[in-house]
Amino acid sequence: MHFPCWLLFALIALLTWGVSGVVQKLSTNDISTELAVLWFSYAMFGLAFVILIFVPLNWHLSFGLFCIAAFSGILNALGVMASFAALESGGKASIVIPLTCLYPLVTIFIAVVFFHEGLTRLQIAGLFLAIVAAALLSREAEQVVISA
């Protein structure tokens, strides 16, 4: 059976982002959102330095592509800061992280409206279920403890 390379990377992202959500909650329990974002940024700079040293890069890109990449970084940083702020202000990691991970809904909306990409009925059903999941996750009811 062939195991696609993209699937391996997707599973690594799933694992690292899953653990990252817990670590983010732990860090924002004791330090401010701003300091957590600074340390997050320092770690990203470290990774960028390793990439600069070990990965050959094609530096020939247009100014427009540079601006798009930079804007993507700014949006990502704002999203990180907002998620840290949600955790620091009392949000539960079990609610905040899954809720913020529904950001593809925004991407899909933009793709459909501005790029005229189509959706199948099954994909629309998936979007509906994701919205229902977001609504259910964001509700905080009385404490119910599930023990194994």
Residues 94-110, mean pLDDT to the nearest whole number: 89
**H/E segment holding residue 45:** helix 33-54
Q: 86-90, 100-104, 109-113 — which is least confidently predicted?
A: 100-104
* CA–CA distance, 49 with 73 (Å, rounded to integer): 16
List, for residues 117-127, the tens digit of each pLDDT value.
Answer: 999 999 999 99
In this predicted model, what pLDDT tens digit does every residue of 19-65 receive, in sequence order? Answer: 988 898 998 999 999 999 999 999 999 999 999 999 999 888 899 99
Per domain, the residue ranges of the chain are: 7-52+61-91, 102-139
pLDDT at 144 over 70: no
Report how far residue 104's alpha carbon sits from residue 101's, in angstroms, rounded to the nearest whole number. 7
Beta carbons of 84 and 34 less than 8 angstroms apart: no
Please list, in sequence order, all residues whose beta carbon lies within 8 angstroms of the beta carbon of residue 24, skipping any fewer than 6 positions away: 36, 83, 84, 87, 93, 97
